[in-house]
Amino acid sequence: MITQIRGRLVEKNPTDVVVDCSGVGYLLHISLNTYAALPEGENVVLYTHLSVREDAHTLFGFISKTERAIFKFLISVSGVGPSIARTMLSSMTSEEIQQAIASENVAVIQSVKGIGAKTAQRVIVDLKDKIVKTFDIDEVSLSPSNTNKGEALSALEVLGFQRKQSDKLVAAIVKEYPDATIEQIIKLALKSL
């Protein structure tokens, strides 16, 4: 129904913004990634999604069409509502979500507050093909780093480190050194933990 809003940003909070469009203020619920990308008090364009329920009509705003597309994919999964989808988009970037789903990384998806193991697996089963096709992700490039990352995480877990703590660190290491071996990833992680 409402697909985009262009206007002056009059109020900016980490979870929502108010955009003035010709004298009408629209309240849009946003992710932390959108919040970080928004300027202060300037004209903005936000891509939107209107969530209609029996008890509420809620407008969600996104800084990019990609973020909105990921949100729509996520809420299409049984058990994932708009608030969990927004939490997921606040915890990770759109690209990280795409990579996690395309590489079937249950642990990364499950690390989001409100998502359990079954829901994380359902997200992957329901969305992997759609994500790979829509965003043209090359599956061949996902496999080696994902395997190394998964094995490095398992090794760190065996050494007594918490999965959530080491997951972000290992993800950053793999991003910076995509060709790193499992041993190199573990050594770099141990220096930082």
Phi, psi of 130 (to 5 degrees): -65, -45
pLDDT along the chain (193 residues), means of 10: 92 94 95 91 92 93 95 94 94 90 88 89 92 73 61 79 80 81 84 79
Q: Which pairs count as long-range contacts for 114-118, CB under 8 Å and 24+ apart, including other chains?
A: 114/83, 114/84, 114/87, 115/80, 115/84, 115/88, 118/79
Phi, psi of 109 (to 5 degrees): -65, -40
